[in-house]
Structure 1
Amino acid sequence: MIDTELDLEVQRVIRAPRDRVWRAWTDPARFERWWVPAPARCRVEAMELVPGGAFRTLISTDDGAFVPHMDACVLAVDDGARLLFTDALTGGWRPSSQPFMTAEITLADHPDGTAYRAMAMHRDRTDRDTHESLGFLDGWGTVVAQLADLVESS
């Protein structure tokens, strides 16, 4: 359930079967194709989709070197339906030096394909507002559109 004081979310119907959307989230090669807003590029450094698993990505902007983007810990995986991860921890349940959010990605069958929901949960209003001012809606909206383009054309 969303807490509008602390959470941000993006919802969209993606016109592709749920298993195709799930594969785009869980296959590193597919994930790299949509996870960051183009023209930036993503590289998956670790994607251990089990509770306690590491989930690390790198980003390259302006064709520069890849630098750290996300260092998170997977909390829960419900195959084909839900992925929960946080940057409050890193792989192996290690505490993070800069906790910011927990993300919940949910997929559900929809008559037109897949109902997609990405929610970012924050510890306080300041973190939520910071995330929003950093461009959450534009950034996460852009990558969801890139995800849709990838899976709808497959």
Structure 2
Amino acid sequence: MPELTLTLHRHIAAPPAIVWRLWTEPHLLMQWFAPRPTKTVEAVLDVQPGGRFYASMLLPDGSEHASEGCFLVTEPGRRLVFTDCLLAGFRPAPKPFFTADISFAATPGGTDYLVRALHANEATARRHAEMGFEAGWGAATDQLAALAATL
């Protein structure tokens, strides 16, 4: 079976409650979500199943990229799942790409942080990898960890 899941696994030196806040409070998400020099310029987070997940990013070339989707699972301090395969209210999206399944587990000294990017087919998973999933999500996670250290 082809690999349809990309993963990123890190230890964050902050408790799961802080990492959860960084994912669920728009003013905090905007500070770390896009790998620099890209900036997140808007975030709308209705953190409940079926609630809207929206982030707009300003790329260095001046273009904007928006991510529109909905939350599927919201377990405070434990797990957050959102997708662009569905829009708010579980409405089917016109151009689905992936689902993010993020888990936070308390460990001595912080949080075991796992991101799983789930794809429908091998071509989409490969495209996400070629777009720089590991480097981009890794850089954003480094930014998340740095911000977590200040809270």
TM-score of the two chains, using structure 2 as the length reference: 0.94
The residue that corresponds to 2:137 in the other structure is 140
Q: Deviations over 1:81-124 (max 9, x none)?
A: 10011111111111111101011010000112110011100001
Q: Name the SS of the counterpart of 2:95 in structure 1.
A: coil
- CA contact under 8 A between 1:40 and 1:63: conserved in structure 2? no
Question: Which one-letter code corresponds to 1:143 in the other structure?
Answer: A
The residue that corresponds to 2:51 in the other structure is 53
Where do 5+ consecutive residues of structure 2 fail to align?
Answer: none
In structure 2, C-alpha distance between the alignment counterparts of 1:64 and 1:4, rounded to whole Å = 36
TM-score of the two chains, using structure 1 as the length reference: 0.92
The residue that corresponds to 2:26 in the other structure is 28
In structure 2, C-alpha distance between the alignment counterparts of 1:69 and 1:136, rounded to whole Å = 16
The one of 116, 136, 153 aligned to 2:113: 116
Q: Deviations over 1:30-65 (max 9, x none)?
A: 000000011211033421111111101101123836
CA shift at 1:69, angstroms? 2.2
Question: Which one-letter code corresponds to 2:81 in the other structure?
Answer: L
In structure 2, C-alpha distance between the alignment counterparts of 1:62 and 1:131, rounded to whole Å = 20
- How many residues align structurally? 151
Where do 5+ consecutive residues of structure 1 fail to align?
Answer: none
Question: Which one-letter code corresponds to 1:98 in the other structure?
Answer: K
Identity %, equivalent residues? 37
